[in-house]
Amino acid sequence: MPKMKTHKGTKKRFRLSGSGKAKHRQSGTSHLQSRMSSKRKRNLRGTTVADKTLNKMITRALNGNGY
């Protein structure tokens, strides 16, 4: 059987941490920020951990298996 391919859209959006959690950039940071307060923009910086219910799907799409 051939190897499972990595899902390229998922690869661009998520990274796996050392413990296997999926990290991603927060939404709302690319444009239309003139209406946002500085506090809101500041809190959207950096990466966050994706919800644990999505973790199995994300790791399967990245690695080709569910583990």
Instruction: Give residue limits of the domains in the chain.
Output: 8-63
66 vs 57: CA distance, rounded Å: 7
Residues in the chain: 67
Nearest to 66 by CA among 54, 12, 49, 57: 57
CA angle, corner 52, sides to 37 and 16, nearest 5? Answer: 85
Please tell me the pTM assigned to this model. 0.76
Fold of 8-63: Factor Xa Inhibitor (4.10.410)
Residue with tokens 């583990």: 67
pLDDT digits (tens, 9 = 90+) for 8-33: 999 999 999 999 999 999 999 999 99
Residue 11 structure tokens: 């690869």
Residue 1 binned pLDDT confidence (cut-offs 50, 70, 90): confident
Q: What is the mean pLDDT of residues 31-49?
A: 94
